[in-house]
């Protein structure tokens, strides 16, 4: 009898746990892999692609409405899900060339709607009303430019409200009066966690909303929610999470929306070496659902804001895309006398699939810096393909083994003396051997 009772107790604990099973970041990752509907790299998502995604969301029953128009007359949309008391507003791609979160929002809404009968999703919808504007700056997205079609940075327009997109965001905030805002951006791929060579793949900021950086309850809650996201993301990108610079800017929406009464959390997506854009979409998806799950279930109240406070700040200038170490440089346009130096090269941000454009960033002693890729070229002469080596020039180089006898003044240098290696647009056309 006692044994039967024990079995019954164990079974009931087991069953209860299934019912209220805490969703883990690994669950969110697995579910994104299986169910995500975004199917092209975010940097290639144009306004018409977003419209296609939104049609798919409508088909599964989501509320999608046109809420305004851009300066270039493109429709701006808001998606809504849930009926709960706590109001969440999320907006992405206020900067047109910062697209990751737009795809992640689409995937998140598709997931929530399709799984609305699951216990924990039902609880989420009963606790929260989520509204989101994916792609606030569709003209910028079309041009893959930060600014809108007036060439104004919408994120410096919170006070003057000279852009239709800025006015719309303020109106949506004022009409809804959300409890928490999520401001979703991308940062440079070479942003680092502190002065380490580690890329800041995700950076977070709990916005204080005042010049003095004073804290209030909403700000502390934002820090706790950040702590939840840090714990979740640590399972995938430990050491690659930074804290975004928190200097107050009265023209920026994050600061002004916080000042207007909606504490804002900023999520900045960077990059991770050898991981593609879809990996970053997945990280956003995991961060969003982890945050929302903890807000709805109340577990964020137990999170430690110190986890956020002790996160290292973002830094820049420590990391380059490529470093060529100890190059024996021959500027044959000027002289044939070689000199030895390190050279760093960076890649400009482009849409996926477009040819990378590279430029020389620094020349000299780069021993204190790191490159995502580094090459010891001490056994080679390095010849800049297009004239004089200088900062800002294109990073196309020819390499010759030092033991070869070359006439650097020959007009048909490349034909007469084929190089041993050739680096162009961030790629080895012919590799170092």
To the nearest whole angstrom, how small is the minimum distance from the Cβ of residue 251 to Zn ion? 13
Nearer CB in complex with Zn ion: 36/95:
95
To the nearest whole angstrom, how small is the minimum distance from the Cβ of residue 404 to Zn ion? 48
Nearest to 183 by CA among 113, 110, 284, 106: 284
Nearest to 266 by CA among 247, 239, 293: 247
Contacting Zn ion within 258-297 (CB under 5 A): none
Integer angstrom CA distances of residue 153 from 67, 94, 260, 338, 418? 20, 9, 20, 45, 48
Site string for Zn ion, 353-392 (x = CB under 5 A): ----------------------------------------
Residue facing Zn ion at closest CB distance: 185
Q: Collapsing DSSP states into helix, strand and coil, what is residue 193?
A: strand
Neighbours of 288 (CB within 10 A): 28
To the nearest whole angstrom, how small is the minimum distance from the Cβ of residue 324 to Zn ion? 31
What is the rounded distance in angstroms from the CA atom of residue 358 to the CA atom of residue 349?
10
Count, residues near Zn ion per rule CB under 5 A: 3
Contacting Zn ion within 50-69 (CB under 5 A): none
What is the rounded distance in angstroms from the CA atom of residue 170 to the CA atom of residue 235?
35
What is the rounded distance in angstroms from the CA atom of residue 176 to the CA atom of residue 178?
6
Any idea which residue has 């080679």 for tokens?
A: 380
What is the rounded distance in angstroms from the CA atom of residue 112 to the CA atom of residue 82?
9
To the nearest whole angstrom, how small is the minimum distance from the Cβ of residue 98 to Zn ion? 5
To the nearest whole angstrom, how small is the minimum distance from the Cβ of residue 95 to Zn ion? 4
Interface with Zn ion by CB under 5 A: which range of 70-78, 183-191, 310-318, 364-372?
Answer: 183-191
Any idea which residue has 């009464």 for tokens?
A: 261
Site string for Zn ion, 85-114 (x = CB under 5 A): ----------x--x----------------
What is the rounded distance in angstroms from the CA atom of residue 75 to the CA atom of residue 135?
10
To the nearest whole angstrom, how small is the minimum distance from the Cβ of residue 237 to Zn ion? 20
Position 157 contacts Zn ion (CB under 5 A): no
Name which position in 131, 185, 223, 422 contacts Zn ion (CB under 5 A).
185
Nearer CB in complex with Zn ion: 145/318:
145
To the nearest whole angstrom, how small is the minimum distance from the Cβ of residue 186 to Zn ion? 6
Interface with Zn ion by CB under 5 A: which range of 181-189, 233-241, 252-260, 375-383?
Answer: 181-189
Interface with Zn ion by CB under 5 A: which range of 6-14, 81-89, 177-185, 295-303?
Answer: 177-185
From the centroid of its chain, how far is CA 63?
26
Q: How many residues does the chain have?
A: 433
Neighbours of 71 (CB within 10 A): 19
Q: Which residues bind to Zn ion, rule: CB under 5 A?
A: 95, 98, 185
């Amino acid at each position: 009898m006692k044994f039967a009772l024990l079995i019954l107790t164990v079974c009931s604990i087991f069953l209860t746990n299934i019912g209220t099973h805490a969703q883990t970041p690994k669950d969110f990752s697995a579910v994104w892999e299986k169910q995500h509907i975004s199917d092209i790299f975010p940097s290639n998502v144009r306004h018409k692609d977003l419209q296609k995604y939104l049609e798919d969301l409508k088909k599964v029953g989501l509320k999608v409405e046109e809420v305004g128009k851009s300066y270039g007359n493109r429709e701006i949309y808001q998606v809504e899900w849930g009926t709960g008391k706590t109001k969440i507003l999320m907006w992405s791609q206020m900067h047109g060339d910062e697209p990751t979160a737009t795809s992640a929002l689409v995937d998140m809404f598709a997931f929530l709607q399709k799984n609305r009968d699951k216990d924990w999703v039902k609880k989420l919808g009963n606790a929260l009303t989520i509204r989101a504007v994916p792609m606030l700056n569709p003209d910028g997205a079309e041009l893959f430019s930060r600014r809108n079609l007036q060439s104004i940075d919408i994120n410096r327009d919170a006070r003057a409200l000279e852009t239709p997109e800025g006015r719309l965001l303020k109106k949506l905030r004022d009409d809804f009066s959300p409890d928490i805002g999520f401001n979703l951006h991308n940062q440079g791929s070479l942003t680092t966690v502190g002065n380490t060579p580690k890329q800041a793949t995700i950076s977070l900021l709990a916005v204080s909303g005042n010049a003095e950086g004073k804290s209030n309850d909403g700000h502390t809650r934002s820090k706790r929610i950040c702590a939840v996201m840090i714990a979740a993301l640590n399972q995938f990108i430990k050491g690659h999470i930074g804290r975004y610079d928190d200097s107050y800017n009265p023209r920026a929406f994050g600061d002004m929306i916080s000042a207007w009464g909606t504490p804002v959390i900023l999520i900045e997506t960077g990059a991770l070496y050898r991981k593609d854009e879809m990996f970053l979409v997945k990280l956003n998806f995991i961060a969003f659902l982890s945050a929302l799950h903890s807000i709805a279930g109340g577990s964020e109240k137990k999170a430690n804001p110190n986890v956020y406070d002790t996160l290292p700040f973002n830094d820049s200038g420590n990391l380059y895309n490529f470093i060529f170490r100890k190059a024996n440089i021959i500027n044959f346009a000027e002289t044939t006398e070689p000199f030895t130096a390190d050279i760093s090269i960076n890649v400009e941000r482009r849409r996926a699939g477009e040819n990378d454009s590279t430029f020389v960033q620094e020349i000299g002693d780069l021993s204190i810096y790191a490159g995502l890729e580094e090459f010891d070229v001490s056994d080679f002469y390095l010849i800049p393909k297009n004239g004089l080596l200088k900062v800002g020039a294109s990073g196309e180089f020819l390499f010759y083994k030092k033991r070869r006898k070359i006439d650097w003044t020959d007009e048909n240098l490349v034909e007469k003396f084929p190089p041993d290696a050739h680096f162009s647009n961030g790629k080895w056309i012919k590799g170092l051997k």
